[in-house]
Amino acid sequence: MGRPAKKSAELTEIVKENGASSPLNNSKKRGRPSISKEEGAKKIKLALEAKKIKLDFRHNRGCGHVLTVGQGDTGQLGLGEDIMEKARPGLIPDIEDAVDVVAGGMHSCYLNNKGEVYTFGCNDEGALGRVVAEEEECFLPGKVDIVGRVVQLSAGDSHTAALTEDGHVFAWGTFRDSSGHIGLIKEGIQPTPVRLLSNVFVKKISSGSDHIVALTMEGEIYTFGNSEQGQLGRVPEMFAHRGGRRGLEYLLTPDKLRVKPKSTVFTDVWAGSYNTIASTTDGRMMVCGLNNYYQMGIGPSKGICFFMPTRSVSLEESKMTALCLGQHHTLIINGKDNVAAIGRADYGRLGLGEDAKDAESPAALPSLKDQKIVEVGCGTAVSYAVTDDGKCYSWGMGTNGQLGTGAEDDVSTPHLMESKQLQNRSVIAVSSGGQHTVLLVKDN
């Protein structure tokens, strides 16, 4: 036999990290091995490949400043303790290198071009991932200590997650259900980042209100968190509330989403408030979770909650390239780079006009048909679309000032966001939380 390509110590460390039995250790142990030789070899191969893979930021549209709009009574606007609301986008000072933004329920995060994470807003349940001595410190961005260069963020009501360039997932905060806290990796609040999914390498993460989904480099999906509406896609209804007799560990321990055939490979995944949607290499769109307003593209005759993955034919027919899920509605970018909406029509969140009815299948937005859309965003009852030339359109409920119109009136069709802070700037990305919205912009 020839010499191993890697040094023994280095390969052994990789094996240990991935939970496989080392082929370099010939000593026999009693009992059944934890995994087969084939699985062990597969994990080693993946680990070695992962050492070569460096994930990059989720888009290549540049970097710049962070703007916030809406309600900010817990500091989620990042504008200091004296500014509790903004009806038009406000500029957070001293940020010029942001590459991504994420809005949680009552907190916000941004990622800079060095791969560093900053958070601000409500920290009652650990969503900021950093120790805060005084409440005033929550009102301004503060750095989160994470090992590695972060390339992607996601956030829910009371948790935040980060993905590093090496495919490692970190998270902090807690999940909640209808009865209160359920924990993140165990009961209680996780106040600082902890690594999850240590045995796999991940290339995308996404957060719902109280669950996280992760897409691995092998095309597998892991889910964990609250499952009351079926959003984990792997927990039968009888165990949906707190894991039933199996307990919380059943929900909080990440496990695979399983669909037939077993050879299925997933290509992308998205999480909504109470949903999970995934695409496969063979063109299927698999959905699970809450469908009370047909927001997953499945008609009313099929049911309200799907606890196991189910095909959405209407999503498949839309030839979608990207999507974003709100509480009761979904926006998709179809194959023509146009926006279509599905789900609940109240407050104008679908953008289809004042007299619009709930949409059971993707309905194109006529007012944006001539725009090339590169990103969509959803809040609880608000919607956004970003064009390739840096314009941002908003529509939906105006009560919290999230639409950036300067008023609190609902907007039933897409409205071009305009303000002093948007002059001579292009919008790169947008993310909306419970009562506020965060935008990433660059100078023209």
What is the token pair recorded at 228? 């009351």
Amino acid at 145: D
DSSP state of 64: B
- The answer to whether 131 and 191 have CB atoms below 8 angstroms apart is yes
pLDDT tens column, 41-81: 666 666 656 566 799 999 999 999 999 999 999 999 999 99
pLDDT tens column, 346-359: 999 999 999 999 99
Distance, CA of 202 to CA of 217 (rounded, Å): 6
Distance, CA of 416 to CA of 310 (rounded, Å): 36
The CA-atom distances, in angstroms, between 224 and each of 128, 140, 167, 243 are 20, 30, 18, 11
12: enclosing H helix or E strand: helix 8-17
Question: How many CB atoms neighbour CB 60 within 10 A?
Answer: 8
Can you spell out the DSSP letters for 172-206?
EE-EEETTEEEESSSSS-EEEEEEE-TTS-EEEEE
pLDDT tens column, 129-146: 999 988 889 999 999 999
Amino acid at 44: I
- List phi, psi (to 5°) of 276: -140, 135
Can you spell out the DSSP letters for 17-53?
HTTPPPTT-----SS--SS-HHHHHHHHHHHHHHHH-
Domain boundaries, the chain: 1-18+34-52, 59-443
pLDDT score at 332: 97
pLDDT score at 26: 39
3-state DSSP assignment of residue 244: helix
The parts of the chain modelled with pLDDT lower than 70 are 1-36, 39-52, 301-302
Distance, CA of 248 to CA of 184 (rounded, Å): 10
pLDDT score at 12: 42
What is the token pair recorded at 375? 């990103």
pLDDT score at 380: 95
Distance, CA of 388 to CA of 299 (rounded, Å): 32
- The answer to whether 101 and 108 have CB atoms below 8 angstroms apart is yes
The pTM score is: 0.89
Q: Which residues 6+ apart lie within 8 Å of 234 measured at CB? A: 223, 255, 256, 257, 258, 308
Q: Which residues 6+ apart lie within 8 Å of 313 measured at CB? A: 297
Say if domain 59-443 classifies as CATH 3.30.365.10.
Answer: no
DSSP state of 357: P
What is the token pair recorded at 131? 């120790």
